Chains A and B, each alone.
Chain A
Amino acid sequence: MNERFDEQLKQALRPVDPGEDFTARVMARVTSNVTSIQRRRSPLIAVLPWAPAALAASLLMAIFMTHDQHPVEDPQAGLRAREQLLEALRVTSEKLDIAYQVVHNETHADSDAGA
């Protein structure tokens, strides 16, 4: 009789299904959460993953061009190299500004949408 009660209680408490779309809903939240965390950690890199590489390349160029590896025989050549470096840094800076605007606008759009 007690075993019967025990069995009935187990039957009454058998696990039930949460619904067919439960897994899909969980995965949707997981994906959304992962994206949100990535944006909070580094919004610039999330939009432009090459930005750190571009900065590093610009800095390396600056170090290379300003380091006296050879005696300067042609001052004009040095000036041209300086101009080229400045142009490279300007282009990188413009791209980073654009990326910042994109991220800034998207962040405000998400905030307005209550995300």
Chain B
Amino acid sequence: MAGDSQRSITEPRQVATALDAQCSNAAEDEQFARARAGEASAFAGVVRAHQRSVFSIALRMLGNRDAADDLAQEVFLQLHLHLSEIESAAHAAFWLRRVVTHRAIDKLRQRPHVDIASLDDEPEIADSAAPLDPLLQRQMRALVNELPGPARAVVLLRYQEDLDPTEIARTLDMPINTVKSHLKRSLATLRDRLGVGTTTVFQELGYE
């Protein structure tokens, strides 16, 4: 039957993908368990696994590379102090995103004016597979940096970390409707400022 043959084509790939995910998660959990047990090299592995994510959230929230570096280091230091409270590698990933975002929002509240010029320190991301306009990307990053702190955090968690609105709501302790509202308004602002058009991308993304 057609349906069965379609399932037989897709299932092995899905099973392989699921198994790969399980193996990856098992390896990450094993490393995390060793880090919890006090193995320094294992904790260094946890740092390496998450440093790009944590640093990038800090950088795009604070808009300053040195401040982002300090914050990211402090967050990993706190992770080390709270290892006994964290149950798994996935929990650690959630904890790191949550802590770095909340701390960055707190820092923004203390000093709301961001040095936009320092964003030039952010390296251009080369992608030979899908060449996109680097100037447009720079403009996008600059506009994201102008968003209010909580809205900026929502956009980063959605587009940098690829979290869905439910996960973003959990990470930020924010009602899901507030998350969707931030996304809707932020995307509209970005599109308007970039002159991209005003069609309801929010609806197409399924957030309404």
Contacts and interface: CB of A to CB of B under 8 A. Distances in A.
Contacts of A10: 159-160, 162
A114 to B, nearest CB: 18
Contact of B130 (A7, A19, A22, A23): A7
Contacts, number: 109
Interface in A21-40: 22-23, 25-27, 29-31, 33
Contacts of A30: 40, 43, 76-77, 80
A29 B196 contact: no
Interface string B185-208: 000001100001101010011000
B52 interface: yes
B47 A14 contact: no
B40 A13 contact: no
A14 B144 CA distance: 13
Nearest to A28: B73
A17 B56 CA distance: 8
A9 B55 contact: no
Size category of the binding interface on chain B: 35 or more
A16 B51 contact: no
B73 to A, nearest CB: 5
Nearest to B196: A5
Interface of B (DSSP majority class): helix
Contacts of A18: 51-52, 55, 68-69, 72
B125 A16 contact: yes
Contacts of A15: 52-53, 55-56, 160
B44 A6 contact: no
Contact of A22 (B40, B55, B133, B155): B55
Given A7-B130, A26-B47, A13 B201 contact: no
B156 interface: yes
B197 A23 contact: no
B177 interface: no
A14 B40 CA distance: 29
- Give 10 closest A-B pairs by Cβ, nearest first: A18-B55, A12-B137, A15-B52, A12-B140, A15-B56, A2-B201, A13-B160, A13-B159, A26-B76, A23-B47
11 contacts: A1-B197, A5-B191, A9-B155, A13-B156, A15-B52, A17-B123, A22-B72, A23-B51, A27-B43, A27-B47, A30-B80
